[in-house]
Amino acid sequence: MQLAQRILQIPPSATLALNAKANHLKAQGVDIVNFGVGEPDFDTPENIREAAIRAIHEGHTRYTPVGGTPEFKEAISRRFQEDYGLTYKPTEILVSCGGKHGLYNLFQVLFEEGDEVLIPAPFWVSYPPMVMLADATPVVVPTRQENGFKLTAQELKERITPKTKALILNSPSNPTGMVYSRKELEALGQVVLEKGIYVVSDDIYDKILFDGEKFVNLAMLSPELKARIFILNGLSKTYAMTGWRIGYLLGPDAAIKAATNLQSQSTSNPSSISQKAGVEALNGSQDAVKSMVAEFAWRRDDILRRTLEIPGVTCPKPGGAFYLFPNFSAYYGKLKVKEGQTPSQALAEYLLEEARVAAVPGNEFGEDNCLRFSYATSRERIATGVTRIKEALEKLEK
């Protein structure tokens, strides 16, 4: 069949593919430790589940306004005001079917052929394909491990051309867990204003932050910057609601209006029931979030300590999200790398077969020296998984 060129250039999601392979082995009875998944291992908090059940019984089962119910937008608006001192009107908010959908809508209305979009590496796997689906050009900007895999103002400046339309920033980061400080953002913000580009601030992990850090994004720095920033957030990670498919985009109203129009001709509104649950998530008790974050913080310490005990492995300490991005390049010389494979792919394959641990190869995130471990799994599985990896790597030495 002759398919459209647009889709032929797009690879399927690598993280979902690895998950499928791990699940296939699991179904055959193989005991796999899965460090591959990008979703919290907790259930959605009970007060939120109850709100959804109530919504069904109360008949909230019909179409809602395309861009989200006034009640849910109000809840989003209040959270941003209270938590970050940011004011967003309903016309500056679009609720979509997950954060991914929000980004897709934004890219479709903001980018076109000839535009360059800067993507610091390591990056979340979906950014480059989504930029390409909008006919624009993803420009990958490597960052350095010594800088905690964070983009510096100088690196940003060097990559901006007259074609640069936007920069995508993601803090806390998937896959590194790194968090930009206010000072680092101020330096980047200055370049953003000087050069007049837009920024897509993917803040989906904003609440999963450790060590008492306070979240900050570019929009919080000045009104001039806020006018150039699009914030992407959602319920998936903070409230363990990946299956409910609710994300929201905040930004200047002309783009939000256009993205709402696009959504009106594609998916229409996100689920009415999920939006009702979202009102409870944002307005109700945040205790469940606090306990999930405390558990992630414990696991971060544990998996980092265990991983750094493996000889030759280096890794910056993540400040948020639930990922670790250790550098395994010390082992690459000892690996059998098949034709067409990168070393991180060969290592991920070796670990799946030899250690029965699923981890995502770094090349998928634009950094081949590393693997991504998700620690959204139990304390016991973390201990088992890292021990198995250590033993499998010892075998390589022989």
Ligand X SMILES: Cc1ncc(COP(=O)(O)O)c(C=O)c1O
Binding residues among 170-189 for ligand X as defined by CB under 6 A: 170, 174
Q: Under the criterion CB under 6 A, does residue 320 sit at the interface with ligand X?
A: no
Q: Which is nearer to ligand X, 111 or 239 (CB)?
A: 239
Which is nearer to ligand X, 101 or 356 (by Cβ)? 101
Q: What is the dihedral of CA 82, 88, 93, 95, to 10 degrees?
A: 10
Minimum CB separation from ligand X for residue 321, in Å? 8
The stretch near ligand X (CB under 6 A) out of 97-105, 106-114, 157-165, 255-263 is 97-105
Q: Could you tell me the smallest distance in angstroms from the CB atom of residue 386 to ligand X? A: 22
Residues in the chain: 398
What 3 state SS string does the chain have? CCCCHHHHCCCCCHHHHHHHHHHHHHHCCCCCEECCCCCCCCCCCHHHHHHHHHHHHCCCCCCCCCCCCHHHHHHHHHHHHHHHCCCCCHHHEEEECCHHHHHHHHHHHHCCCCCEEEEEECCCCCHHHHHHHCCCEEEEEECCHHHCCCCCHHHHHHHCCCCEEEEEEECCCCCCCCCCCHHHHHHHHHHHHHHCCEEEEECCCCCCECCCCCCCCHHHCCHHHHCCEEEEEECCCCCCCHHHCCEEEECCHHHHHHHHHHHHCCCCCCCHHHHHHHHHHHHCCCHHHHHHHHHHHHHHHHHHHHHHCCCCCECCCCCECCEECCECHHHHHHCCCCCCCCHHHHHHHHHHHHHCEECEEHHHHCCCCEEEEECCCCHHHHHHHHHHHHHHHHHHHC
**Residue 38 binds ligand X, judged by CB under 6 A:** yes
Q: Considering only residues 299-318, where is the footprint of ligand X by CB under 6 A? A: none
Q: Is 34 in the site for ligand X (CB under 6 A)?
A: no
* Region binding ligand X by CB under 6 A among candidate stretches 94-102, 290-298, 300-308, 343-351: 94-102
Stretch that binds ligand X, among 93-101, 111-119, 140-148, 298-306 (CB under 6 A): 93-101
Candidates 176, 162, 72, 64; CA nearest to 120 is: 176
Kindly tell me which of 103 and 393 has the beta carbon lying closer to ligand X. Answer: 103
Report if residue 99 touches ligand X, rule: CB under 6 A.
yes
Task: Note whether 44 binds ligand X by CB under 6 A.
Answer: no
The answer to whether the CB of 363 falls within 8 A of the CB of 344 is: yes
* Nearer Cβ to ligand X (76/393): 76
What's the rounded Cα separation, in Å, for the pair 306 and 21? Answer: 25
Q: Total binding residues for ligand X by CB under 6 A? A: 13
Q: Which of 155, 202, 295, 349 binds ligand X (CB under 6 A)?
A: 202
Q: What's the CA gap between 381 and 375, in Å, rounded?
A: 9
- Name which of 274 and 363 has its Cβ closer to ligand X: 274
Asked whether position 148 contacts ligand X by CB under 6 A, the answer is no
Nearer to ligand X, 150 or 356 (CB): 150
User: At closest approach, how far in Å is the CB of 171 from ligand X?
Assistant: 10
**Contact flags string 108-127 toward ligand X, x per CB under 6 A:** ----------------x---
Q: Which stretch binds ligand X (CB under 6 A): 92-100, 111-119, 223-231, 269-277?
A: 92-100
Pick between residue 250 and residue 310 the one whose CB is nearest to ligand X: 250
Phi, psi of 378 (to 5 degrees): -70, 160
Question: Least Å distance between CB 318 and ligand X?
Answer: 13
Is 96 near ligand X (CB under 6 A)? Answer: no
Closest contact distance (angstroms) between CB of 119 and ligand X is 12
Phi/psi at 156 (5° precision): -65, -50
Please state the closest distance from residue 100 (CB atom) to ligand X, in A: 3
Q: Is residue 40 at the binding interface for ligand X, with CB under 6 A as the rule?
A: no
Distances (CA, A) of 392 to 263, 279, 310, 398: 48, 47, 11, 11
Residue 204 sits in the site that holds ligand X (CB under 6 A): yes
Which CB atom, from 202 or from 280, has the smaller least distance to ligand X? 202
Q: Which stretch binds ligand X (CB under 6 A): 46-54, 96-104, 287-295, 373-381?
A: 96-104
Query: Of 100, 226, 276, 299, which lies in the binding site for ligand X, with binding defined by CB under 6 A?
Result: 100
Binding residues for ligand X (CB under 6 A): 38, 98-100, 124, 170, 174, 202, 204, 234, 236, 242, 247
